[in-house]
């Protein structure tokens, strides 16, 4: 195991906003790291620092001499008229056969590979960029929200690629399902501090909650003990016979300190319109054909969505999801057949382009006040504005100074303040952080109206959807199963294609970052039974100590967990404090043992490289 990046005491601020506050973390070459944090926490800034595009105010980022970074570019790197194959050859300098082999991992074949790359959809262009990344054989991939705007099939292909990819990755994503499927470690950026956790994102979030709960219980025990000591001192310090004992208790009191709890991030307060539930069909499509005068996208559509359902519209990019939605809301005229909405349906529409129609004279607050249903309380308007990241003076911002993401969030907030009993939502989670997307999902679950939506966030869809409508191959059908079943079917289909193609494994061999040195021979003074490590131990001795340490680490970890469970179970403050002391002692020993284990792993790697 080698250290690819060592971030030490990194500090970075913009004006009064502190992004990094003497933050430290280490990225090694033996894992894939999911990078999480609230919007605006500084994740993208840290990526730019790693790439050398920004400087730290203080601190340093130490890079391994043979580190090769691969960064998924968000801009368009293609030349006019260039094919995907020509781009890959130009960008990587690799021969056509090698480019074609790697492109095949992402199903880039035939006309997709030899046709103009700029005519491909955004999802297919992202596949081309990923193939280009792989051809450069980086030792560390940096991916910033790689699933944004990718359809489900491309997301799953990317997952399969990353799972099989043998080099290290640092992945920023708000999609917990994607991080859970691809990353074995988690890096969190909160309040300017970096925390590296040796487990998946869900385990880290559980750990965070447990740690906070533990700290609250410990503080309660400490405060209770302090009150007891203060009471004893107050009753006994004035009497000569007990004054010495009171003084002793005073010293104990000085040692009892309450640990500071990290401030809670603002919690999203989202609530959908309050409507009366309705029965029967909300919308019926009969013999419907959708598309444009010069191109039919889908036909023979016979779909019915009933009131109270939350229908997810799914399908690959370019298959017609948006065209179908636009036809449902009558912004496109059907080519044939009909769309019929039920009596009394009031449609609230959120589309990615809707923010272009905002009144330039509005402020955030004035727009929301006008969009809100009659009788909406001012506090609810401010709560929802805050949930959409318009907090404090941000509600006074005028529309012309808002970014595209801010305008999109403003339109979504206005929609949720209305009185609509049908919500049509096109990618509502874009521009929102994980916590706000979760809050939106819970609000939609409590909503008594009907929801028809698209989303690339699988966790969001699986939480919200009650049924699935699939758009593809010129048809629109009600999928019979759940979204989880739809995902399983998609995974099976991709697995079968990869197996038929020979496994679909990336043709990149894992080499140590320090590879390339000439193989050494055993010299004088090196003991038999293996190469010598940096402290003179043979490889056999190093491996033996690693085995002993691993048993000690397992034992200390069990002790720490047992003490933690006992502390949480007891209601006696003194006993809780005793268990906390035992847990802290075990944790200190565990940290020292793990640090020694890491040193021995590096020694073992050096021995193996010298063979």
Task: With cut-offs at 50, 70 and 90, classify the pLDDT of residue 355.
Answer: low
> Which pLDDT value is given to residue 448?
93
Q: What whole-number distance in Å separates Cα of residue 242 and Cα of residue 287? A: 94
- When pLDDT is averaged across residues 210-222 and rounded to a whole number, the result is 79
Whether residue 516 has pLDDT greater than 60: no
Whether residue 519 has pLDDT greater than 60: no
Task: With cut-offs at 50, 70 and 90, classify the pLDDT of residue 461.
Answer: very high
Task: With cut-offs at 50, 70 and 90, classify the pLDDT of residue 502.
Answer: low
Q: For residue 17, give the 3-state DSSP assignment.
A: strand
> Which pLDDT value is given to residue 513?
40
State the chain's mean pLDDT as an integer.
82
Task: Choose between 272 and 588: higher pLDDT.
Answer: 272
> Which pLDDT value is given to residue 240?
72
- When pLDDT is averaged across residues 464-474 and rounded to a whole number, the result is 92
Q: What does residue 588 show for φ and ψ, rounded to 5 degrees?
A: -65, -45
Whether residue 426 has pLDDT greater than 80: yes
Task: With cut-offs at 50, 70 and 90, classify the pLDDT of residue 430.
Answer: confident
> Which pLDDT value is given to residue 574?
61
pLDDT tens for 20-52 read: 999 999 999 888 999 988 777 888 889 989 988
Class of residue 463 by CB neighbours under 10 A (exposed 0-12, middle 13-18, buried 19+): middle
Q: How far apart are the first and last CA of the chain?
A: 16
> Which pLDDT value is given to residue 353?
65
> Which pLDDT value is given to residue 265?
56
Pick from 129-138, 444-453, 519-528 the range whose average pLDDT is largest: 444-453
- When pLDDT is averaged across residues 568-590 and rounded to a whole number, the result is 70
- When pLDDT is averaged across residues 445-459 and rounded to a whole number, the result is 91
| Percent of the chain as helix, strand, coil, to the nearest 5 | 45, 20, 35
Calculate Rg over the CA atoms of the chain. 29
Backbone angle region of 365, left / alpha / beta, with phi > 0 → left and psi within -120 to 50 → alpha: alpha
> Which pLDDT value is given to residue 290?
93
> Which pLDDT value is given to residue 229?
79
> Which pLDDT value is given to residue 27?
92
Q: Is 468 within 8 Å of 314 (Cβ atoms)? A: yes
Task: Choose between 7 and 589: higher pLDDT.
Answer: 7
> Which pLDDT value is given to residue 337?
94
pLDDT tens for 113-127 read: 999 988 887 778 888
Helix (H) or strand (E) holding 32: strand 32-36
Whether residue 181 has pLDDT greater than 50: yes
Q: Is 407 within 8 Å of 352 (Cβ atoms)? A: no
What DSSP designation does 396 have?
G
Mutual orientation of helices 122-135 and 96-104 as an angle, nearest 10°? 120
Q: What whole-number distance in Å separates Cα of residue 448 and Cα of residue 478? A: 21
> Which pLDDT value is given to residue 23?
92
pLDDT tens for 66-109 read: 899 988 766 668 888 999 999 999 999 999 999 998 898 888 88
Q: For residue 202, give the 3-state DSSP assignment.
A: helix
Task: With cut-offs at 50, 70 and 90, classify the pLDDT of residue 611.
Answer: low
Pick from 117-126, 206-215, 366-375, 403-412 the range whose average pLDDT is largest: 366-375
Pick from 117-121, 150-154, 398-402, 464-468 the range whose average pLDDT is largest: 464-468
Task: With cut-offs at 50, 70 and 90, classify the pLDDT of residue 608.
Answer: low
pTM: 0.66
pLDDT tens for 406-419 read: 787 888 889 989 88
CB contact set of 237 (below 8 Å; sequence gap of 6+): 243, 246, 247, 250
What DSSP designation does 62 have?
E
Alpha helices of 165-267 — where are they, by DSSP H?
176-182, 201-236, 243-255
Q: Of 172-181, 266-275, 382-391, 448-457, which gets the smallest average pLDDT?
A: 266-275
Whether residue 327 has pLDDT greater than 90: yes
> Which pLDDT value is given to residue 523?
39
> Which pLDDT value is given to residue 449?
94
Task: With cut-offs at 50, 70 and 90, classify the pLDDT of residue 173.
Answer: confident
> Which of 54, 5, 107, 73 is CA-nearest to residue 496?
107
Q: What whole-number distance in Å separates Cα of residue 537 and Cα of residue 546? A: 12
> Which pLDDT value is given to residue 561?
74
Task: Choose between 423 and 571: higher pLDDT.
Answer: 423
Q: Is 476 within 8 Å of 497 (Cβ atoms)? A: no
Q: Is 292 within 8 Å of 324 (Cβ atoms)? A: no
């Amino acid at each position: 195991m080698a250290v690819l990046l060592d971030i030490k005491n990194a500090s970075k601020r913009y004006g009064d906003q502190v992004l990094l506050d003497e933050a430290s973390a280490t990225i090694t070459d033996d894992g894939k790291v999911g990078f999480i944090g609230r919007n605006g926490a500084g994740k993208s800034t840290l990526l730019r620092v790693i790439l050398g595009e920004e400087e730290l105010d203080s601190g340093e980022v130490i890079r391994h001499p043979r580190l090769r970074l691969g960064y998924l570019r968000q801009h368009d790197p293609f030349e006019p008229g260039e094919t995907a194959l020509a781009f890959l050859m130009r960008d990587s300098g690799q021969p056509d056969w090698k480019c074609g082999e790697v492109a095949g991992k992402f199903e880039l074949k035939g006309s997709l590979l030899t046709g103009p790359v700029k005519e491909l959809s955004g999802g297919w262009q992202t596949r081309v960029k990923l193939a280009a990344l792989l051809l450069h054989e980086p030792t560390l991939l940096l991916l910033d929200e790689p699933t944004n705007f990718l359809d489900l099939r491309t997301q799953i292909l990317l997952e399969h690629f990353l799972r099989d990819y043998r080099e290290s990755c640092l992945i920023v994503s708000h999609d917990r399902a994607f991080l859970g499927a691809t990353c074995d470690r988690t890096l969190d950026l909160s309040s300017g501090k970096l925390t590296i956790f040796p487990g998946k994102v869900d385990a880290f979030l559980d750990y965070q909650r447990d740690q906070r709960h533990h700290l609250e219980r410990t503080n309660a025990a400490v405060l209770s003990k302090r009150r007891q000591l203060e009471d004893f001192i107050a009753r006994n310090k004035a009497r000569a016979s007990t004054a010495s004992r009171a003084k002793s208790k005073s010293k104990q009191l000085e040692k009892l300190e309450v640990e500071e709890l990290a401030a809670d991030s603002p919690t999203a307060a989202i609530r959908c319109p309050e409507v009366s539930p309705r029965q029967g069909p909300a919308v019926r499509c009969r013999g419907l054909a959708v598309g444009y005068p010069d191109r039919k996208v889908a036909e023979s559509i016979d779909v019915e969505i009933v009131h109270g359902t939350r229908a997810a519209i799914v399908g690959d990019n370019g298959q017609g999801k948006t065209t179908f939605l636009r036809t449902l809301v009558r912004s496109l005229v059907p080519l044939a057949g009909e769309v019929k909405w039920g009596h009394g349906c009031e449609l609230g529409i959120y589309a990615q382009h809707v923010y272009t129609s905002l009144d330039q004279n509005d402020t955030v607050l004035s727009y929301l006040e006008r969009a809100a249903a009659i009788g909406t309380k001012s506090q609810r308007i401010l709560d929802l504005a805050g949930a959409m990241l318009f907090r404090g003076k941000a509600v006074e911002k005028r529309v012309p100074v808002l970014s595209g993401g801010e305008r999109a969030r403003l339109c979504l907030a206005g929609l949720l303040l209305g009185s609509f009993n049908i919500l049509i939502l096109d990618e509502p989670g874009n521009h929102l952080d994980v916590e706000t997307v979760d809050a939106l999902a819970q609000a939609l679950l409590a909503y008594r109206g009907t929801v028809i939506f698209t989303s690339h966030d699988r966790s969001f869809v699986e939480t919200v959807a009650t049924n699935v409508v699939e758009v593809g191959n010129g048809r629109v059908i009600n999928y019979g199963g759940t979204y989880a079943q739809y995902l399983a079917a998609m995974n099976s289909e991709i697995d079968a294609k990869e197996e038929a193609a020979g496994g679909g494994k990336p043709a990149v061999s894992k080499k140590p970052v320090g590879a390339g040195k000439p193989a050494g021979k055993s010299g004088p003074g090196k003991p038999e039974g293996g190469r010598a490590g940096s402290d003179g131990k043979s490889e056999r001795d190093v491996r033996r100590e690693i085995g002993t340490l691993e048993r000690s680490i397992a034992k200390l970890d069990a002790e720490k967990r047992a003490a933690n469970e006992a502390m949480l179970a007891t209601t006696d403050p003194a006993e809780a404090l005793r268990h906390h002391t035992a847990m802290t002692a075990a944790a200190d020993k565990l940290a020292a043992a793990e640090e020694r284990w890491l040193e021995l792993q590096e020694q073992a790697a050096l021995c193996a490289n010298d063979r």
